[in-house]
Amino acid sequence: MAETIEKNVTENAASEKVLKVSNLSISFGGLKAVDDLSFSIDRGQIYGLIGPNGAGKTTVFNCITQFYKPDEGSILFTAKDGRTHELTRLPAHKVIRLGLVRTFQNTEIIRELSVLDNLLLGAHSQFTSGVVSDMFRMPWARRQEKAMRAQALEVLEYIGLQRLAEESAAAQPYGVLKLIEFGRTLLCNPSLIILDEPAAGLNESETQTLMALIRGVSRDYHCSALVVEHDMRLVMGICDRICAISFGRMLAEGVTSYIQQHPAVQDAYLGKEEA
């Protein structure tokens, strides 16, 4: 057991890191939500972040995507062009341009728009036409819109929703909304997708579809994924490595099989005798 872990560590060190979080801390009104957390994700890796309710998982996400500004620590992100950026220096809306994109726990789908338009929203950072050329529908703006539309349709086909393209997003069931939100992340040419409880509220077969999709993107879109999830089967089924946290602190970090058997993780989930 120990040997395999050792081996994995060296392998990781050799491969390229896409995200490197070090000594991340943030507190809200004196309460430390995240406390000195460090972990890193390799390119192409599916990484899981687990922990009991209120452990600070979503807060970690919000820090990485710059919705919250961490009190301390650094978050280094290496884009596809090989350049490394310190995310904490960027406003929230600029993060996606580097290829880092997220979903939300309760799905943030724009109900007023069609399914296809919701996907196109994910491509927003790829558009270069300005407001005036949009208003006058200049040839280059039209060309770009057409190309993006084709790409969005491709993604819809990939996630198996092409027949819903022109339907209103408001009319879709929750499982479909989750898929739309997942598909939306694929349109920004991502290198890391952050998924906040992607399987929450999904039934068994929907979860299976989602697992296959997440596994597939690292292969088909050459990107990594960071997953927060309560569904242990999903986490254990798709993640290459896992970081377990509790009360904002790291409990354990390592390959999936190692975390599965880690006593501290089991304690945090099942509760100690005296707790």
**Binding of residue 94 to another protein (CB under 8 A):** yes
| Contact call for residue 189 and another protein (CB under 8 A) | no
Nearer of residues 2 and 135 to another protein, judged by Cβ: 135
Using an 8 Å Cβ cutoff, are 101 and 181 in contact? Answer: no
* Residues 197/228, Cβ–Cβ less than 8 Å: yes
Contact with another protein (CB under 8 A): which of 45, 58, 189, 246?
A: 58
Contact between 30 and another protein (CB under 8 A)? Answer: no
Q: Count residues binding another protein (CB under 8 A).
A: 40
Q: Does 188 bind another protein (CB under 8 A)?
A: yes
CB of 110 to another protein, least distance (A): 5
Residue 12, classified by CB atoms within 10 Å of its CB into exposed (0-12), middle (13-18) or buried (19+), is middle
Q: Are 94 and 100 contacting, i.e. CB atoms less than 8 angstroms apart?
A: no
Closest CA to 251 of 65, 104, 56, 74: 56
Binding mask 60-89 for another protein (x = CB under 8 A): --x--x-xx---------------------
Q: Among the candidate windows 36-44, 77-85, 137-145, 233-241, which touches another protein by CB under 8 A?
A: 137-145
* Alpha-helical regions (H) of 98-231: 115-122, 131-135, 139-158, 174-185, 204-220
A 10 A CB-CB count for 253 gives 19
Taking the least distance from each CB to another protein, the nearer of 47 and 61 is 61
Decide: is 143 part of the binding site for another protein (CB under 8 A): no
Convert 43-77 into a string of H (helix), E (strand) and C (coil). Answer: CCCEEEEECCCCCCHHHHHHHHCCCCCCCEEEEEE
Q: Give least dist CB 127 to another protein, A.
A: 4
The reply to whether 262 sits near another protein by the rule CB under 8 A is no
Q: Of 48-56, 76-84, 124-132, 263-271, which part binds another protein (CB under 8 A)?
A: 124-132
Give the shortest CB-123-to-another protein separation in angstroms: 8
CA–CA separation, 131 and 123 (whole Å) = 16
* Among 71, 79, 104, 260, interactor with another protein by CB under 8 A: 104
CA–centroid distance for 226 within its chain: 5
Quick count: other Cβ atoms within 10 Å of Cβ 30?
A: 5
Contacts to another protein by CB under 8 A? 58, 62, 65, 67-68, 91-97, 101-102, 104, 108-113, 117, 120-125, 127, 129, 131, 134-137, 141, 145, 148, 184, 188
